[in-house]
Amino acid sequence: MKTIFYVIQKEFIQVKRNKVMLRMIVMIPLLQMLVLVFAATYDLKNVDIFLVDKDLSSTSRELAGKLEASPFFTINNTSFDPEDGEKELLRNADEMVLVIPRGFERDLIRDDKASLQLLVNAIDGQAAQLGYSYAASVIRDFNKNIIAEWKGLPEFNAPFQINTVSRFWYNSELEYKWYMAPGVLAILVTLIGLFLSGMSLVKEKEQGTIEQLNVTPIKKIQFLTGKLIPFVVIALFDLSFGLLIAKVVFNLPIVGSLWLVFGFGILYLLGILGLGLLISTVADTQQQVMFVTYFFMMIFILMGGIFTPVDSMPHWAQLVNEANPVFHFMKVMRMVVLKGSNFGDLIHEFVALCILGFTFLSLAVWRYRKTA
């Protein structure tokens, strides 16, 4: 026990003396929470529309007015030539071109139907989809109203309509920051845990101190435990710090139990630190650790569902995600923080994280033995 305590003490002293490390521990949560959460938003704002109104009728103007009135759209430019619009799309100056053909109003009155053309810049598929559906709903609304108006029916008493009332649960205002914050917290814990543990063992190798330690009677398990505990503490500190920022800055509602968040945090960290150790037993220099860790981070995070819903990934990717600790932890974070899920709801994640943690840790211990 005393040996482990001394190893822990030694690790803390080393972290304390490492000014870069100290700054990272404080700055990473601040930056990630304040920058990433704000930046990685899918809230639709300010879609610039290029309007080609060849009809110039009162109906076409009314439609344009409806779009302009929506908080999401700005009519940026107008022209009579759709090609001008296409050019603007190419330049990335506008995201959408709405073409109202000549005779739009006439067709609508005479034939009861008319067409519009909507060109959407789909470089960013997600944004395009979102912009398109917002625009389409404005147009649909407009359509519904003119039918009612022309048929002389009161606007709010239109017949033959199924009215869907939707309510979004757990995040009723679709506050994107609330969705992002738990995910970013999961990334934060991963980043800190993986880098700290990966670096620390390889640093002992680089400096040759491992050679001196290997000839002492210290047991591997004592050494590794003593090494890991400080990083669990530091990562949990960052998790609390991040949660505090989310609470204060975004007013993130923390519905579930904090015990559950931290309990899963510890379980998750054991796996992540195990992976970090495993990487550093294989690598010889801190540089190599950086590369390999970065590679794992990229895959874990992008697969883990921070930006894209895992449910819409192909089936094989969802299977692969079972081996992705970030995926499970991110899910736990979102479920507990936003939904207030209890342990019973998280059995699957619990088992998965246990298996992953056990695998990474035992591989690391096994590898460490071989290199010694």
Partner 1 sequence: MTTKIIISGSESPLLRRGLGEAISIQHISKSYKEVQAVRDISLEVQKGELFGLIGPDGAGKTTLMRILMTLLIQDKGEATMGGFDVVKDYKKIRNMVGYMPGRFSLYQDLTVEENLNFFATVFKTTVAENYELIRDIYVQIEPFKNRLAGKLSGGMKQKLALSCALIHKPEILILDEPTTGVDAVSRKEFWEMLKKLQQKGITILVSTPYMDEATLCNRVALMQKGKVLDIDTPRNLVDGYTRKLYAIRSNQMHHLIQDLRSYEKTDSAYAFGQYLHVTGKDDEVEATEFENFLMKKDHENLEVFDIQPTIEDVFMELLHEG
Phi, psi angles (nearest 5°) of residue 173: -95, 10
Q: Least distance to partner 1 from the beta carbon of 286, Å?
A: 14
Nearer to partner 1, 259 or 366 (CB): 366
Near partner 1 in 218-237, by CB under 8 A: 218
Do you know the residue count of the chain? Answer: 372
Q: Least distance to partner 1 from the beta carbon of 216, Å?
A: 5
Return all residues near 192 (Cβ < 8 A) that are at least 6 apart.
Answer: 24, 25, 28, 231, 234, 235, 238
Rounded to whole angstroms, the Cα distance separating 211 from 67 reads 71
Contact with partner 1 (CB under 8 A) among 1, 2, 311, 370: 2
Rounded to whole angstroms, the Cα distance separating 342 from 263 reads 12
Near partner 1 in 329-368, by CB under 8 A: none
Nearer to partner 1, 26 or 213 (CB): 213
Near partner 1 in 37-56, by CB under 8 A: none
Phi, psi angles (nearest 5°) of residue 102: -60, 140
Nearer to partner 1, 3 or 77 (CB): 3
Nearer to partner 1, 17 or 151 (CB): 17
Q: Least distance to partner 1 from the beta carbon of 197, Å?
A: 17
Near partner 1 in 182-211, by CB under 8 A: 207-209, 211
Strand order in the sheet with 73-79: 73-79, 47-53, 96-100, 117-120
Is there a contact between 266 and 237 (Cβ–Cβ < 8 Å)? no
Rounded to whole angstroms, the Cα distance separating 32 from 184 reads 7
Contact with partner 1 (CB under 8 A) among 215, 312, 314, 344: 215
Rounded to whole angstroms, the Cα distance separating 306 from 292 reads 21
Site string for partner 1, 9-38 (x = CB under 8 A): -x--xx--xx--------------------
3-state helix, strand, coil in the chain (%, to 5): 70, 5, 25
Name which of 28, 292, 1 is nearest 9 in CA terms: 1
Nearer to partner 1, 244 or 372 (CB): 372
* Per CB under 8 A, 216 contacts partner 1: yes
Q: Least distance to partner 1 from the beta carbon of 229, Å?
A: 16
- CB under 8 A: which stretch of 51-59, 69-77, 215-223, 309-317 binds partner 1? 215-223
Q: Least distance to partner 1 from the beta carbon of 247, Å?
A: 35
Name which of 281, 158, 295 is nearest 227 in CA terms: 281
Contact with partner 1 (CB under 8 A) among 92, 115, 126, 214: 214
Residues making contact with partner 1 (CB under 8 A):
2-3, 6, 10, 13-14, 17-18, 207-209, 211-218, 372
